[in-house]
Homo-oligomer: A and B are copies of this chain.
Amino acid sequence: MVDIYFSTHYICGMLINELSKKTGISVHTIRFYEKSGLIEGKQNEAIKSNNYFHYNEVTVDKLAFISDAKSVGFTIKEIGQIIDTWYNKKYTKKQKLKILDDKLISLEQKLKEIKEMKKKIFLLKEDVVNNRC
């Protein structure tokens, strides 16, 4: 009988391979994100035979967010900023709100540009349909 409250898994969370499988992000890329400061694992002080990093569900959430944020065109730096408004004490409340408002503005801008591009492509399509080009 194993006391789950003292199992390695319960205390330390998952290792990088499990995190990779859970998120669909490669081990290499996860390490790259860790080096870039977007996520961080913890080493268990009690275990001295290895220096393995352990990750929790917060990291899973962060990686899901990173994927989404990359899709909308945010850079690693920008994603780091947003994540730091989240769990981090790096910024004051005022700074956090400024960062988030800036991102909302840039998303609004992207929305506008994409709608305009849709119109342009649509007009181009009309020209093709009507043999005008």
- B117 close to A72 (CB less than 8 A): yes
- B85 close to A107 (CB less than 8 A): no
Copies of this chain held together in the complex: 2
Binary contact track A22-62/B, C-beta < 8 Å → 1, others 0: 00000000000000000000000000000000000000000
Count of A interface residues, CB-CB < 8 Å? 36
Q: Say which residue of B86, B113, B121 sits within 8 Å of A124 (CB atoms).
A: B86
Q: Which residues of B contact A104 (CB under 8 A)?
A: 118, 121-122, 125
Q: Say which residue of B101, B103, B121, B124 sits within 8 Å of A107 (CB atoms).
A: B121
Sampled A-B contacts (5; CB under 8 Å): A71-B110, A82-B124, A100-B125, A104-B118, A108-B118
